[in-house]
Structure 1
Amino acid sequence: MLDTLSLYVVAPEILLLVMACVIAMVDLGVKSRLRGLTYWLSLGTLAVVTWLCVEFALTGGSLYGFGGMVVSDPMGNWLKAFSALAVLVTLVYGRPYAAERDMLRGGELFTLSLFSLLGIFVMISGSNFLAIYLGLELLTLSSYALVALRRDHERATEAAMKYFVLGAMASGFLLYGISMLYGATGSLDISRVFEAIASGRIRHDVLVFGLVFIVAGLAFKLGAVPFHMWVPDVYQGAPTAVTLMIGAAPELAAFAIAIRLLVEGLLPLAIDWQQMLMVLSVASLLVGNLAAIAQTNLKRMLAYSTISQMGFVLLGLTAGFVGGSLANAYNAYSASMFYVVTYVLTTLATFGIILLLAREGFESEEIADLAGLNQRSPLYAGIMAICMFSLAGIPPLVGFYAKLTVLQALVASGEGLYIGLAVFAVLASLIGAFYYLRVVKVMYFDAPLTATRVTAPGHVRAVLSLNGALVLVLGILPGGLMALCGEAVVRTLAG
């Protein structure tokens, strides 16, 4: 019989699962082309789930359920709240786009989005290797279906096939790594794996062999070089609303499982996995920024931008265990969490503008399609410019502070290697500034290709304006969010 504590720990997941099933059933009776009832039910569900996760984050410590397979802790609950909010905003931005492309014939866009969010929640809550893997599979299977949602669209179908084949390979890497660790430690429970490795009785080479496959699987989910090959093709080929769905909230889940697996489970092997992450981060910063310069397709450029941004997230994770001490751990891991949260916030606004500019039969995904946007709509050009400046790391926007916190964590280690990595990251960011500023130049200084005014439903315009304002306000006043991330990491790792 299930105990009350276990049900309490997974209350957000239960609510999400029940409502996803209810919405799928209700949608059968909806005849509207815009699926109005399904849409508002989905937004209401996501709003309630977000509120519930925030309540858990503010009031609860670390609670374990189902025999320690799942955990409810401050870091996990905040990441779940941000993920639910990201999916909510994605649906707000993506509904007009999806309706114009006949993607709302059924309610699959909404139900699959909720199920992918459920997978994210299970990944974030997992305190057992098997639970994390099940969450990952639920997320990826839903994502494959979302990418292929335009069944009559050749490029979307091709992107879904590439995503499926490469995603299956990455899942295999992760599962093989988990099986190696299980064979070495005799447990799938993260805390017991930690204890078994810390005891020093297990052969180091066996553990590192399993660790290599786990890091490879994680690198694929984060889109880090050299496991990045799926990112540009899927970003470009998927319908733009789906690109945002797979490019925002899942990054929060990828960060969460990196903390769960590497920090909470495999910290005694930190010297080994930190070296691997250093190589991945340097390669991601270099390849992502250089490849983005050559792109003319905006979605493809943003895909390579994502690869370079994830390089910064990985850099933060490399600086936690330095010189045999964990003194820098909370600072480094909270900097990475702050970076990934602010990256998702900026990405939402960026793709919101792209979705807004898309019209029926016209995708607006080339950089040239933004030409003269300031003359057509100063508000939306301003929001896009704020996002580009933020991604480039220009003050006083939130992207600047995110980069600064990661660089501070690297420099605070006092090690020459980490200071060298910080210098390299700054130089890579200077390269990246070129392609972000090119977008701003096209919007403000090129002649518009069309005189069509940019219009949007009132609630979409309000959410987009708030999204853009947050990128600016959190850059000017970053202390609150940074303190939230710091406290969440401290309470979670200490608990």
Structure 2
Amino acid sequence: MNWADLNLMPALPELFMSGAILVILMLDAFISDAKRGLHYGLALLTLAGCAVLQVQTYTAVPVHTFSGMFVSDALSSLVKLAMYGSTAIVLVYSRQYIADRGLLRGEFFSLALFALLGMNFMVSASSFVSLYMGLELLSLSLYSLIALQRDSVKATESAMKYFVLGALASGLLLYGISMIYGATGTLDLTLVAKAVKAHTANDMLLVFGLVFIVAGLCFKLGAVPFHMWVPDVYQGSATAVTLMVGAAPKLAAFVFVLRILVQGLEAMVADWQAMLALVAVLSMAIGNITAIAQTNIKRMLAYSTISHMGFLLLGLLAGTPDGYAAALFYSLIYVLMSMVSFGMLLGLSRAGFECETLDDLKGLNSRNSWYALLMLLTMFSMAGVPPLAGFYAKFAVIKAIVDIHLYWLAIIAVMMSLIGAFYYLRVVKNIYFDEAQDSSAIVMRADMKLVLSVNAIALLVLGVVPERVIVLCLQAMKQSLTVI
């Protein structure tokens, strides 16, 4: 690498975030327990600074640095801004919850930012090396976050399960990458794409490598049959950490899959399309059907996540620009819905009480009609009820597969969506038609109440006028993925 030609501007937000993390870690060693809230403010300022730098360094033309392993383009900029925003919202929702449980420490915020740093590298990676480095940074940070509640047996157990299964998935992914390298002689995604398209690579190694890579990717998305960790991790983790796991990382995982399958292995679309179709059907079916039997709402939302990943894969397997844009839009809407649902659980929890069962939501309307309405909007959006954003997101991905004449898959998706509506409506029934088991007042910070309200109302607004966001997603795809 020629150091004179090294351009650090594309990675300026990441460099700023790295410095901010070091500052938070240093301050944590010197400030008293009474001033631990300072970390919260510094974390939000860090996210705001990263967002400003991201806008300042935006470029419609892809710019590479670090020997071509890091790229700044329209897709990465859009997704990073969404991740900054979602992480900031997660921190706002989590502040009172982690303070009540003694987790308002520098470790929580530094690990959250380290996880975000790993996500940024996943989103901007243009080489298998940088993709894997970003993935491992994210994974190690999440393992530590889940186990941060050291006196909780459930949290420790969840962290161990996630670690063991995550290590297995990383091994599968790494083995697949090694096969791709053996077949093409390069780890650069652009060069891999050229080699596969020119048919100069070993076909057998490519196919075997693709199988292992898809298996590893499915684990990271939480798709069937590599979904085993999702319910246990969601239920066993502190709710604030569950939200951290279920929000921004889903955006990073989607772009991670997109970079590998579309940017690197687009010429093998017929091979990975068939595999993703099977995974999507199984995820929608098992996720929705199993969720019906759950009484723990965190576990129910975990199976709901599995089904949503199935829907997201529909747009991806379509193999068209419209399909990719629809899948990106779906991932953005899913993150919004996930943040409201878990944010409400955080708001209803208090010191000594965890809101995590369906019974805990009974009679919410009689306790606070506004919070009940916000939860209703979220459940209806997850179920795909118009005119909420979840309806348009599902419509967009189903339309993408109809456009390529996969009618059987579209029919299955509609049927699974109808099945999924049952358990979402059950939550609404508990909120509005059952008698409250807890009559205590709901105390929620003013900033959290405001952000939660805006978050939920956004689901309605984006359902009514989704065109600008979907066009933005389509433009990002066309500008960033040269294979399109």
- TM superposition score category, shorter chain reference: over 0.9
**1:445 pairs with 433, 442, 448, which one?**
433
Query: Where in structure 2 are the equivalents of 1:326-475 lying within 5 Å?
Result: 329-413=320-404, 415=405, 418-475=406-463
Q: What's the CA shift for 1:462?
A: 1.0
Matched, 1:107 2:95: no
Letter in 1 for 2:317: T
Question: TM-score, normalising length from structure 1?
Answer: 0.96
| Cα deviations by residue, 1:208-259 (Å, 9 ceiling, x for unpaired) | 0000010000000000000000000000000000000011101001110111
Partner of 1:485: 473
Partner of 1:64: 64
- Measure the CA separation in 2 of the matches of 1:3 and 1:486: 36
Q: What's the CA shift for 1:32?
A: 3.9
1:54–1:78 CA contact under 8 A, matched in 2: no
Provide the identity percentage: 52
Partner of 1:214: 213
Partner of 2:94: 94
Can you give the 5+ residue segments of structure 1 that lack an aligned partner in the other structure? 321-328
2:288–2:303 CA contact under 8 A, matched in 1: yes
2:182–2:205 CA contact under 8 A, matched in 1: no
Query: Where in structure 2 are the equivalents of 1:300-319 lying within 5 Å?
Result: 300-319=299-318
Query: Where in structure 2 are the equivalents of 1:61-210 lying within 5 Å?
Result: 61-104=61-104, 106-210=105-209
Q: What's the CA shift for 1:56?
A: 3.7
- Measure the CA separation in 2 of the matches of 1:219 and 1:155: 25
- Measure the CA separation in 1 of the matches of 2:444 and 2:4: 48
Q: What's the CA shift for 1:426?
A: 0.4
- Residue 6 of structure 1 aligns to a residue whose secondary structure is coil
| Cα deviations by residue, 1:414-440 (Å, 9 ceiling, x for unpaired) | x2xx11111110000000000000000
- Measure the CA separation in 1 of the matches of 2:5 and 2:183: 34
154 and 92 in structure 1: CA distance in 2 versus 1, 3 angstrom threshold: same
Letter in 2 for 1:99: A
Q: What's the CA shift for 1:369?
A: 0.2
Q: What's the CA shift for 1:12?
A: 1.1
- Measure the CA separation in 2 of the matches of 1:286 and 1:141: 30
- RMSD between aligned residues: 1.2
Q: What's the CA shift for 1:34?
A: 6.7
Q: What's the CA shift for 1:66?
A: 1.2
Q: What's the CA shift for 1:187?
A: 0.5
- Measure the CA separation in 1 of the matches of 2:143 and 2:476: 32
- Residue 19 of structure 2 aligns to a residue whose secondary structure is helix
Matched, 1:39 2:27: no
Q: What's the CA shift for 1:60?
A: 3.7
Matched, 1:252 2:251: yes
- Residue 359 of structure 1 aligns to a residue whose secondary structure is coil
1:53–1:78 CA contact under 8 A, matched in 2: no
Partner of 2:21: 20
Q: Which runs of 4+ in 1 moved over 4 A?
A: none
1:34–1:99 CA contact under 8 A, matched in 2: no
1:33–1:99 CA contact under 8 A, matched in 2: no
2:60–2:479 CA contact under 8 A, matched in 1: no
Letter in 2 for 1:478: P
